Amino acid sequence: MLGIREVVLAHIIDIGTTGSTSIGPDADALFASQAEAIERAGIRVHVDTTVGYPPYAIEQIAEQHKASLIVIGSHGKGLFVATFSGSVSSDLVRISTRPILLAVLSALGQAEQSSDVCGRLLSRVLFPTDFTEASSIAAGYLEQLASHGLGTVNIVHVVDNTVGNGIEFKRCDAQEQLAIIAGKLLNAGAATVNTEVLVGSPERETARFCAASTPSMVVMAPRCNEDPGQPLGGVTHAIIQTAHSPVLLIPPGCRR
């Protein structure tokens, strides 16, 4: 559906923590099994193993192979805890020049369920936006996805009621901006676009809306700040922590 022609299976040996520069037979067997499963789907497979700090090594491998997307597993309990620590994960998002798809393992389930989840990835997409430049870049990616059969898109913006007065004016302004985004997506080929302006805590309300709308995928622009507790921003952190759907992150340096 998304036109995937090639996959690079990458394994990064973090020399700073493992003390080893090679992988064992178990990892070799796992790679072989994964490569075989992907090839059965008619997709070419490359295997690449390297030593280094994972974020930079992953970005380097992606650049070498001209990858258009990085896919990483996540347990959905915070940052990408299936594979990396929080600092490694946030560093990858901060430096990446391509989108990063978090495949939430609890949503994928067994092989049959995974196929179904991937098959309807674009059927019901949630796009939280704060109207920043980063969110505009993410909206541009949604427009590109529209040509691949984008179904229903729910765009949500939360007016933070803790930052002062003028709530009604902010609601009206947000509705106007959402209407512009919706129009662009419809023109690009999206089947249906719904918009919603909520009032309250952006983290809490966005997570609540995500849980209620059960999206097939969430597309969002992380805010890479210096808060060690929430290095990708509060809303992104809340979504990754609670979502039961794949999450497509569009990093701030992503210009593809």
Domains and CATH numbers, the chain: 68-249 (3.40.50.12370)
pLDDT band for position 256 (50/70/90)? low
Identify which of 112, 136, 99 has the alpha carbon closest to the alpha carbon of residue 217: 99
**6-62 tens-digit pLDDT:** 999 888 887 766 555 556 666 678 778 888 888 887 889 888 888 888 889 999 999
Q: How confident is the model at residue 243 (pLDDT cuts 50, 70, 90)?
A: confident
Sequence letter at residue 103: A
For the chain, give the percent of residues with pLDDT over 90: 43
Measuring CA to CA, which residue among 99, 101, 130, 103 is closest to residue 223? 130
Q: How far is CA 163 from CA 169, 171, 180, 226, 239, in A?
A: 13, 14, 25, 21, 22
Q: What is the pLDDT of residues 190-222, one digit of tens each?
A: 999 999 999 999 999 999 999 999 999 999 999
b or e along 107-143 (b: 16 or more beta carbons within 10 Å of the residue's beta carbon)?
bbeeeeeeeebbeebbebbbbbbbeeebbebbbebbb
pLDDT given for residue 210 in this prediction:
94
